[in-house]
């Protein structure tokens, strides 16, 4: 069975065991905001223990290079931990790329150290590690580029796209199979990695901004699975556990996101959302809408008893969250009950809106999930939509021809009055027309979200200039 372990080896394994327990506790404590910060401490201690334990490894001869790498990583990591909250989605995508880069490089190095003495199972896992890792590296970089708006956010599609992707993946798998059977074929290995890298790029090209929450979750899952595969290759139980935890986290989030968009995984990855909608929006003619000034909006809001604010990605783009807090304060002072309705896919990553509103000092018990708050809209005086579009589109409930038909939405149209802050009547990110804007109880507030909310706050006499 197991070979005799040296004394130091036993110590290292025990340290890894403690680290594994701490990692699981770390995630367990994330279940509630009151215990979540313990979770970070547990994670940090686990990580520190694991790294120190690893340094005891008897084979290590060169500590200098390790130290330089650790310092360099810290120097890069600190600014990545200090980015603005609005930049968190692209930072997260970038860190998926870094994590996957680490896994891919270690996998490649292990291949060259061991080949051709690699068992078939080991080679299969190693191939899985570098293919998943490779596509996550470039896929995440593409996602980060799109989120940072270095790359065009509109989905890019071309004829036969899925076929090209499929063929590419098939070739990578074919190379992997060849390597499993003949691990001595060194020269094939770089091609497998290159194809995985190319596949990652092509996978994200057709993805639009509205699909980013699902895609980031999916890449998170891939990064986790590739790390778990690396654990198999290195025979590291700690790595298998951490990878499995990360993988299941990414998977659960992807499922939640897909459900919130009423779409399947394959649909998100191979669907190229934007194209369909551009076609359906094209036939629309201009219909009359009612609009209102900041004064009128302020008057309606201050007369209300219950207000639900529906934030979306537009609020993040306009950096309006701090003005929204001032509005929250001004209305609360007047005795208005103000809550926030959070759609699972509002924003560009899971939970994006919660973080932005928490940053603006809005108490988290005012942030209510979709399922919990949807029943309250009929008793709500004003639903104020700020920079959200598709997640409020009643066509998702009623119009079977709509591309978002069946997607769960926030039922803002059931509120007595709906106010929508929007730059213009241009269709939103996904390019779908929103019938909400033409309803009799809807008032359009045209303007920049930050400026408009600021004007309302001034009217209410609660702003700071």
Partner 1 sequence: MNSSSNLIDALFIFVLAGFIGFEVIRRVSPLLHTPLMSLTNALDAIAVVGAIVLVGEHKSTLSAVFGFIAVVAATSNIVGGFFITDRMLKMFKSSRPAAKPVVK
Q: What part of residues 23-42 is at the interface with partner 1 (CB under 8 A)?
A: 23-24, 26-28, 30-34, 36-37, 39-40
The residue range among 21-29, 197-205, 269-277, 391-399 that interacts with partner 1, by the rule CB under 8 A, is: 21-29
Give the HSE-up count for residue 410: Cα atoms under 13 Å, Cβ half-sphere.
32
Least distance to partner 1, CB of residue 141, Å = 12
223 binds partner 1 (CB under 8 A): yes
102 binds partner 1 (CB under 8 A): yes
How far is the CA of 125 from the CAs of 30, 131, 175, 265, in angstroms?
A: 31, 10, 14, 23
Of 211, 390, 413, 433, the active-site residue reads 390
| Close Cβ partners of 384 (under 8 Å, ≥ 6 residues apart) | 301, 307, 308, 309, 310, 419, 421
Q: Which is nearer to partner 1, 232 or 313 (CB)?
A: 232
Among the listed residues 250, 263, 235, the one whose alpha carbon sits nearest the alpha carbon of residue 95: 250
Looking only at residues 310 through 349 of this chain, which bind partner 1 when binding is defined by CB under 8 A? 342, 344, 349
Q: Which is nearer to partner 1, 113 or 163 (CB)?
A: 113
Chosen residue from 10, 55, 150, 174 binding partner 1 by CB under 8 A? 55
As a whole number of angstroms, the distance between CA 324 and CA 163 comes to 46
Q: Which is nearer to partner 1, 350 or 454 (CB)?
A: 350
Extract long-range pairs of 156-162: CB within 8 Å, 24+ residues apart: 156/205, 156/206, 157/205, 157/206, 157/272, 157/274, 157/275, 161/202, 161/205, 161/206, 161/272, 162/270
256 binds partner 1 (CB under 8 A): yes
Q: What torsion, rounded to 10 degrees, do the Cα atoms 241, 247, 253, 258 define?
A: -150
Chosen residue from 86, 106, 143, 403 binding partner 1 by CB under 8 A? 106
126 binds partner 1 (CB under 8 A): no
Chosen residue from 6, 10, 11, 83 binding partner 1 by CB under 8 A? 83
182 binds partner 1 (CB under 8 A): no
62 catalytic? Reply is no
282 binds partner 1 (CB under 8 A): no
1 binds partner 1 (CB under 8 A): yes
The residue range among 157-165, 202-210, 350-358, 392-400 that interacts with partner 1, by the rule CB under 8 A, is: 350-358
222 binds partner 1 (CB under 8 A): no
Chosen residue from 170, 194, 361, 378 binding partner 1 by CB under 8 A? 361
The residue range among 119-127, 142-150, 171-179, 419-427 that interacts with partner 1, by the rule CB under 8 A, is: 119-127
Which residues are catalytically annotated? 390
């Amino acid at each position: 069975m197991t070979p005799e372990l040296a004394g130091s080896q036993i110590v290292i394994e025990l340290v890894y065991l403690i680290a594994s327990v701490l990692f699981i506790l770390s995630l367990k404590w994330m279940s509630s905001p009151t215990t979540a910060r313990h979770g970070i401490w547990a994670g940090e201690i686990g990580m520190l223990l694991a790294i120190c334990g690893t340094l005891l490894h008897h084979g290590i001869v060169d500590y200098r290079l390790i130290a330089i790498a650790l310092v360099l990583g810290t120097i890069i990591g600190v600014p990545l931990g200090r980015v603005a909250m609005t930049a968190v989605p692209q930072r997260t995508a970038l860190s998926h790329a870094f994590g996957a880069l680490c896994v891919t490089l270690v996998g490649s190095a292990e291949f060259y150290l061991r080949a051709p003495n690699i068992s078939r199972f080991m080679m299969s896992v190693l191939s899985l590690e570098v293919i998943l890792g490779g596509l996550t590296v470039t896929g995440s970089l593409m996602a980060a580029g799109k989120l940072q708006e270095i790359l065009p956010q509109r989905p890019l599609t071309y004829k036969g796209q899925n076929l090209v992707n499929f063929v590419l993946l098939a070739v990578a798998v074919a190379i992997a199979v060849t390597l499993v059977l003949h691990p001595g074929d060194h020269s094939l290995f770089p091609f497998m990695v290159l194809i995985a890298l190319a596949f990652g790029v092509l996978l994200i090209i057709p993805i639009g901004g509205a699909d980013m929450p699902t895609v980031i979750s999916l890449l998170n899952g891939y990064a986790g699975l590739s790390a778990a595969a690396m654990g198999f290759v290195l025979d590291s139980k700690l790595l298998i556990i951490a990878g499995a935890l990360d993988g299941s986290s990414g998977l659960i989030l992807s499922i939640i996101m897909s459900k919130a968009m009423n779409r399947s995984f394959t649909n998100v990855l191979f669907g190229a959302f934007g194209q369909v909608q551009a076609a359906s929006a094209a036939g629309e003619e201009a219909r009359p809408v009612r609009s209102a000034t900041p004064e009128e909006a302020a008057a309606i809001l201050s007369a209300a008893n219950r207000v639900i604010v529906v934030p979306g990605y537009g609020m993040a783009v306009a950096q309006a969250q701090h003005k929204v807090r001032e509005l929250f304060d001004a209305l609360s002072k007047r005795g208005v009950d103000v809550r926030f309705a959070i759609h699972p896919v509002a924003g560009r990553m899971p939970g994006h809106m919660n973080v932005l509103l928490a940053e603006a000092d809005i108490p988290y018990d005012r942030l209510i999930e979709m399922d919990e708050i949807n029943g309250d809209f009929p008793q709500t005086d004003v639903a104020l939509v700020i920079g959200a579009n598709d997640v409020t589109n009643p066509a998702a409930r009623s119009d079977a021809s709509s591309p978002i038909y069946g997607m769960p939405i926030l039922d803002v149209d059931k509120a007595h009055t709906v106010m929508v802050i929007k730059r213009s009547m241009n269709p939103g990110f996904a390019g779908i027309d929103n019938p909400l804007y033409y309803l009799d109880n809807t008032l359009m507030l045209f303007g920049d979200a930050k400026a408009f909310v600021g004007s309302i706050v001034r009217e209410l006499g609660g702003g700071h200039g």
